[in-house]
Amino acid sequence: MIKIIIDEKQSGRISSFEMKGHADFAEHGKDLVCAGASAVSFGAVNAVIALTGITPDIEQGSDGGYLKVVFPETEKDDEIQLIVRAMIVSLQTIEQDYGQHIKLIFNR
């Protein structure tokens, strides 16, 4: 199962997310849950960088089953937060249909 742990401050600000595990929905290379979650998360991180000019701290595992992204608080925080919130909505959409393979966990 893919677990996505989202750190949300009391203010509502998303400070980081950590994605770990494998969906095990289908064989490697044909796993649409994994592909969807990866596309959404990497697309959001790339959008943050391209649209705000801010590069978050990114840590990846060598086997493709781990991603942690920490968002610095900057003058572009409103823009970053909008992109991250859009990512969360997309991941929740995947979770609605494939909840046995992907789980979002909010640390508040």
pLDDT in tens, 67-76: 999 999 999 9
pLDDT (tens digit per residue) in 14-36: 999 999 999 989 887 788 999 99
64 token code pair: 């493709």
Catalytic residue chosen out of the listed positions 23, 34, 40, 87:
34
CATH topology for the 2-107 domain: Alpha-Beta Plaits (3.30.70)
Structural domain boundaries of the chain? 2-107
User: Residue 68: helix, strand or coil by DSSP?
Assistant: strand
User: 95: helix, coil or strand?
Assistant: helix
Q: Tell me the CA distances in angstroms from 58 to 31, 41, 54, 68, 99, one per residue in order.
A: 24, 12, 12, 6, 26
Q: Catalytic site residue 22?
A: yes
> What six digits make up the tokens of 10?
């009391």
Which of 22, 68, 76, 103 is labelled catalytic?
A: 22
